[in-house]
């Protein structure tokens, strides 16, 4: 459904002013309304999705969008008020969106199971949550504050290791996940309530101490090994083959591919950042996804969380210009 076209004078102003590098979206002396916009580059080389710091991203303009600056859109105490740097490319009928924000610590243990001090017994799984980043696109022509939205949800421990973001919807009242077919899920809980034990362990058994347990590297759990008390296993098993499989198209929930990296540009905690690159077809052909093909602009919001907190640092609405 096409977003009502902006008044011609606004579009002309956008074409004239464009989007300069690290533009904060403010015009004039600050007395007139701010029009925040991210202009999509349609001439840049198509990203390979092999590296969030691929050179092409630093050849195009960027824009900063403030999150956490107003209680209206949410403030996460760990993330606070900060600027998120955004870049966008349209190539091969796909929208690529690059986002970078500050987070002093990365939450990569979205869930875990701990070996009990009792022989052969494990404590029940503890499901803490992820760092998350949301892209909310107007899907009904009525804005991204209360209206229908197409939501891309990147999660640091559940979807990130599988190179995906979860596709969701919001109708102004109810949040729903897009449809998913059986066995097409990149993250699966690694805990049996019936047997009170993990389903899987790493095939390297006790030598494995990582936070990501890939299904292709697992074997069935053996509780009779000499597991030390306090040993921690990931609470999710990740299927990293789904993002490139032929069957991914059977599920509307996994239309969005996403690569990510947590690193630092300095020694101070404020220099530690998450960077995520989203990629989604301009038109997935699905009724629960907004088609971008025929649009000249779309209203958008972004939000970030730390450790799955209920509180988000969110942005005011802004525009993506095609």
Instruction: Provide the pLDDT confidence category of residue 4 given band limits of 50, 70 and 90.
Output: very low
Longest dimension (CA), the chain: 73
pLDDT at 29: 43
pLDDT at 320: 98
- Nearest-CA neighbor of 133 among 159, 111, 114, 115? 159
- Nearest-CA neighbor of 141 among 150, 151, 132? 150
pLDDT at 250: 87
Percent of the chain whose predicted confidence (pLDDT) is above 90: 72
Range with the lowest mean pLDDT among 14-28, 53-67, 260-274?
14-28
DSSP 126: B
User: Mean pLDDT in the chain?
Assistant: 88
- Tokens (6 digits) for 213: 């347990």
pLDDT digits (tens, 9 = 90+) for 143-167: 888 789 999 999 999 999 999 999 9
Mean pLDDT value of segment 200-204: 93
DSSP string across 51-120:
-TT-GGGGSS--EEEEESS-TTT---TTT-SEEEEEEEEEETTEEEEEEEEE-SS----S-EEEB-SSTT
The model's pTM is 0.88
Instruction: Provide the pLDDT confidence category of residue 1 given band limits of 50, 70 and 90.
Output: very low
Percent of the chain whose predicted confidence (pLDDT) is above 70: 88
Mean pLDDT value of segment 179-191: 90
- Tokens (6 digits) for 154: 């990147």
pLDDT at 56: 98
* Neighbouring-strand partners of residue 95: 90, 280
pLDDT at 32: 46
Q: What is the 3-state secondary structure (H, E, C) of 245-258?
A: CHHHHHCHHHCEEE
Q: How far is CA 45 from the centre of its chain?
A: 23
pLDDT digits (tens, 9 = 90+) for 37-93: 999 999 999 999 999 999 999 999 999 999 999 999 999 999 999 999 999 999 999
pLDDT digits (tens, 9 = 90+) for 283-321: 999 989 999 999 999 999 999 999 887 799 999 999 999
pLDDT at 310: 78
* Neighbouring-strand partners of residue 67: 82
244 or 5: which carries more pLDDT confidence?
244
């Amino acid at each position: 459904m096409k977003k009502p076209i902006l008044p011609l004078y606004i579009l002309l102003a956008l074409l004239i002013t464009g989007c300069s590098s690290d533009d904060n979206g403010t015009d004039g002396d600050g007395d007139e309304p701010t029009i925040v916009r991210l202009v999509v580059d349609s001439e840049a080389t198509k990203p390979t999705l092999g590296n969030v710091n691929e050179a092409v991203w630093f050849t195009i303009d960027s824009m900063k969008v403030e999150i956490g600056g107003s209680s209206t859109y949410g403030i996460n105490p760990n993330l606070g008020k900060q600027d998120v740097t955004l870049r966008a490319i349209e190539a091969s009928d796909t929208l690529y969106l690059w986002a970078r924000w500050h987070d002093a610590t990365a939450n990569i243990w979205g869930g875990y199971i701990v070996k009990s001090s009792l022989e052969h017994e494990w404590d029940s799984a503890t499901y803490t949550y992820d760092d998350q980043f949301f892209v909310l696109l107007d899907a009904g022509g009525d804005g991204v504050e209360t209206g229908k939205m197409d939501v891309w949800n990147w999660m640091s421990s559940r979807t990130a290791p599988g190179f995906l973001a979860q596709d969701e919807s919001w109708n102004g009242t109810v949040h729903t996940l897009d449809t998913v077919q059986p066995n097409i899920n990149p993250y699966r809980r690694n805990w049996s309530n019936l047997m009170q034990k993990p389903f899987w362990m790493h095939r390297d058994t006790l030598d494995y101490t990582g936070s990501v347990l890939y299904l292709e590297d697992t074997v069935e759990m053996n509780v009779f090994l000499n597991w030390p008390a306090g040993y921690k296993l990931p609470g999710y098993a990740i299927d990293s083959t789904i993002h490139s499989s032929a069957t991914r198209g059977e599920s509307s929930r996994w239309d969005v591919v996403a690569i990510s990296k947590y690193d630092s540009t300095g020694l101070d905690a404020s220099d530690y950042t998450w960077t995520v690159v989203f990629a989604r077809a301009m038109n997935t052909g699905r009724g629960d996804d907004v088609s971008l093909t025929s649009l000249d602009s779309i209203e958008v919001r972004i939000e970030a969380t730390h450790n799955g907190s209920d509180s988000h640092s969110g942005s005011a609405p802004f525009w993506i210009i095609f």
